[in-house]
Amino acid sequence: MSAIDSRGNHAAAATRVLGALALELVPGSTAARDRLAQAQAGTLAEGIARDLAGLAPQAAQLDLVLVGAHYDAVELLRPGWPLQRELAQLAARAPGAGAGGGGRVIAFGAHDGQLPGTLAPAEEFAGGPLRVLPFVLVGDQAVAGAVAEAFERELMERGMAGAGTSLLVQELFGLRVEHAHYLTVHDLAAMVALQYEHAGLAALWPLIETALLAPGAEQWLDAPPEPLLHYADGEARIAMFSPAAWRERYGEGDNDGERLERRYARFQARERQFAAVLGAHGVPVTFVHCGSEAAPDV
């Protein structure tokens, strides 16, 4: 994993390292609460700081910035990493310096049930079996780069949270954890990509990955019978075919009218599914109407 620069882009010498504590819940269980009060968030942040320093000692030289809340992975995996960007922006206004030359531990919790800024977890994504607590490490470029490289090497294999931290997470959030594991944002993206493959959404992942890691680039999904998508200029464009245009592209010589209607309805449902997944990842979606007289222009 490369570190992340002040604009949220990947850079060899940057000031931020983005990661998360991933909580795989016991099947069938849910969390009693999705956010912590300020004092509780501070206690949890201290435990996480100890864990991260044990995995990469130089991490103790960086500021650890954490919000005492857990989210669905789609809320983290969005272009520009908005949750962690907001954490870093809030931390930049925090007073004080680290003790003994070390980094600060900065935690944001809820006051009267409200988290600062736009950090509240979205209710529409609550209840999933994988919950993530985002964190940011901020500081010297060289140190951040070294920690990022160490995390890339180590976290997937050795990144299990300490027993004390895991128990604390369960107690504070009122949940049952099967695994608590530190991940880089790349690790988290790889985990979600695998989930999407199992859910039949593998064809869509390259567009999401491009939006996350190379938002200025382009990516196509042009693989019938899947919908036609084009990611460019920060948005995904989905071709909406008229029935006649869809039959020209996808009909494959099928002359059974009723079967074609069913296939077209499934195709439209697939488009809506893709649009919903992209929207959940914060990727803007535009539908482009394509009639039978013109070639698709998305």
Mean pLDDT of 53-57: 96
Whether the per-residue pLDDT at 235 is higher than 90: the answer is yes
- Per-residue pLDDT, averaged over 274-293, amounts to 91
The CA-atom distances, in angstroms, between 220 and each of 91, 211, 224, 275, 287 are: 38, 12, 12, 15, 15
pTM of the predicted structure, to 2 decimals: 0.90
Residue 106: which pLDDT band, with cuts at 50, 70 and 90? very high
Can you give the residue ranges of every domain in the chain? 3-199, 203-290
* Sequence-separated (6 or more) residues with CB below 8 Å from residue 36: 44, 68, 69, 109, 110, 172, 173
Task: Render pLDDT for 167-182 as a digit per residue (tens, 0 to 9).
Answer: 999 999 999 999 999 9
- Report H helices in 117-253: 141-158, 163-173, 185-198, 205-213, 243-250
Contacts of 33 (CB under 8 A, 6+ apart): 173, 174
Copy the structure tokens of residue 54. Answer: 């044990």
The per-residue pLDDT for range 16-42, each reduced to its tens digit, is 999 999 999 999 999 999 999 999 999
Q: Would you report the helix, strand and coil content of the chain in percent, each value rounded to 5?
A: 45, 25, 35
Q: 239-253: per-residue pLDDT in tens?
A: 999 998 998 888 877
Q: What is the pLDDT of residue 3?
A: 55
pLDDT at residue 13 is higher than 80: no
Q: What is the mean pLDDT of the chain?
A: 90
Q: How many Å apart are CA 112 and CA 128, to the nearest integer?
A: 25
DSSP characters for 15-49?
A: SEEEEEEEEEEPTT---S-SB-BHHHHHHHHHHHH
Query: How are beta strands 219-221 and 229-232 bridged, if at all?
Result: antiparallel
